[in-house]
Chains A and B, each alone.
Chain A
Amino acid sequence: MSVRVLFICGDTREVKSTTEQLGRFLLQACVELNVSTSFAKLPNQFGPNGHLMELLAAIEQADVLVLAYPLIADSHPAVVVRLMEEMIKHRNRIRGKKLLIIASSSYPKASRTDISIAICHAFCDEMDYKWLGALAMGEEAVINGRSLTQHSRLTQPIITSLQLTAEALSKGHSVPWEAQKLMAKPMIPIKLYEHMVAWNYKHVANKNKVGKHIFAQPYAFDKNDLF
């Protein structure tokens, strides 16, 4: 029986989600290797029963869980924490899975995901799952939710990394070191990335006619009126 992979997209962004693009590419590569795949996007809020029960049913059906998320405030988004809390509560129903993590960060270095990945490792131990490894990516803004093949010269290391990962998943193996290394490789020089991001934010703010107010402090009030 072929391996069943479930990609869980832990990005609440509705458009331009790099996490989603990584997932779509990985799943396509898996399909080409005759791996059965499914995709689930975490909802902004878990309803009392609906979304959570659907998701747990999908997890129950899968052999390999690929949990992917963007880094927010140095760790995974709240919605992913919530998923972990719920999965721990229902652990008896969803035993014996393998877990792969894909973490992307808008910071230049992929290593900034280290704490969040360590937390995911702790989650894997708590659930008694098999750890397949983690792919960490920096410079998320280079992709900015576009298809990986759109700028394939820049994204080639990521494409190769995901292809190697799909191959490993099809055999039920851990993610090879080579795939992890390629994913972590900066797509453009770090200095250039930092300038590009700053320039882009200013450019978009100007386009939105708020360039002059980019340093605004709207939350600064007279403290005596507030408390």
Chain B
Amino acid sequence: MAAVILNGSNNDDILSLTMARCLQKMLSAYYYRVSSYLLAQEPIDNCVRCFDCWLKYPGECQIADKCKDISIKIANSSLVVAITPVTLGGYSAELKKIIDRQLPTLLPFYDKTNGETHYMKRYSTNPTWLVIGIVYRRNEVREQLFHRLVARNRLTIFNENSIAKILSRDASAYEIQSFLKTALSSVGVI
């Protein structure tokens, strides 16, 4: 089994770096082959909405940067763990760049689930996404927005088992450890 860790926080964010390291160890202990990325350090462009990945080179992004490698790994893994500061209820710009660039993994045709229209997925098996949001101070409205966004992305980009978990920035080392265990168990790793 393979897993990808996407850290969408800043270069100097100790908490997310610690979490990514911890996750790598935990997943390796469960026989996952893990690729971990600190996205702020990777040369990744924004999606330019050219739609060539649908109309000229089906399924392939033509922007030659690190994102293509990451997208290939995502498409071939069973778990993606994304770490992001909860930015106004959404993802950080660094993580959003990767999510925007998942357009090649979709097909240009509509499908409907529970009455909601979305694009069909190109691959029959998509990885489960565990999206970990880090909050500076608790804000119920923004946390609910974050959960809604991940739930919406379940239909469009992630698979149906994907979930969002929120961790407070002031969590202790013990709390982080137990949070990660619970989070991994909720996506069926542990």
Contacts and interface: CB of A to CB of B under 8 A. Distances in A.
A220 B108 CA distance: 18
A108 B49 contact: no
A216 B105 CA distance: 10
Given A12-B49, A81-B96, A205-B54, A74 B87 contact: no
Nearest to A120: B88
Contacts of A77: 46-47, 96, 100
Interface in B67-93: 71-73, 75-77, 87-93
A84 to B, nearest CB: 7
Contact of A217 (B54, B57, B59, B156): B59
A119 B54 contact: no
B152 A210 contact: no
A34 B99 CA distance: 41
B48 A44 contact: yes
A45 B45 contact: yes
Nearest to A225: B76
A117 B107 CA distance: 25
Contacts of B100: 72-73, 77-78
B110 A223 contact: no
Contacts of A197: 108, 110
Interface in A183-227: 194, 197-198, 201, 204-205, 208, 210, 213-221, 223, 226-227
A173 B103 CA distance: 38
A122 B122 CA distance: 33
Interface in A36-70: 44-45, 70
A3 to B, nearest CB: 26
Contact of A219 (B33, B59, B91): B59
Given A223-B2, A227-B2, A122 B142 contact: yes
Contacts of A167: none
Contact of B149 (A74, A107, A205, A220): A74
A45 B65 CA distance: 14
Given A45-B45, A201-B108, A210-B58, A219 B93 contact: no
B134 to A, nearest CB: 14
B117 A108 contact: yes
A126 interface: yes
Contacts of B88: 84, 119, 122-123, 126
Contacts of A73: 96, 99-100, 102-103, 153, 156-157
Contacts of A201: 54-55, 108-109
Contacts of A107: 110, 117-118
A227 to B, nearest CB: 4
Contact of A226 (B2, B59, B93, B152): B2
Interface in B3-57: 33-35, 45-50, 54-57
B133 interface: no
A122 B145 contact: yes
Q: Most A CB atoms within 10 A — which of B48, B77, B118?
A: B48
Contacts of B45: 44-45
B148 interface: yes
21 contacts: A12-B46, A13-B50, A44-B45, A45-B46, A73-B102, A74-B152, A77-B100, A78-B46, A78-B93, A78-B100, A84-B88, A115-B148, A115-B152, A119-B88, A194-B117, A201-B109, A210-B56, A219-B104, A221-B76, A226-B76, A227-B34
Interface of B: 2, 33-35, 45-50, 54-60, 71-73, 75-77, 87-94, 96-97, 99-100, 102-105, 107-110, 117-118, 122-123, 141-142, 145, 148-149, 152-153, 156-157
Q: 6 closest Cβ contacts across the A-B interface?
A: A227-B33, A82-B93, A78-B96, A219-B75, A201-B108, A81-B93
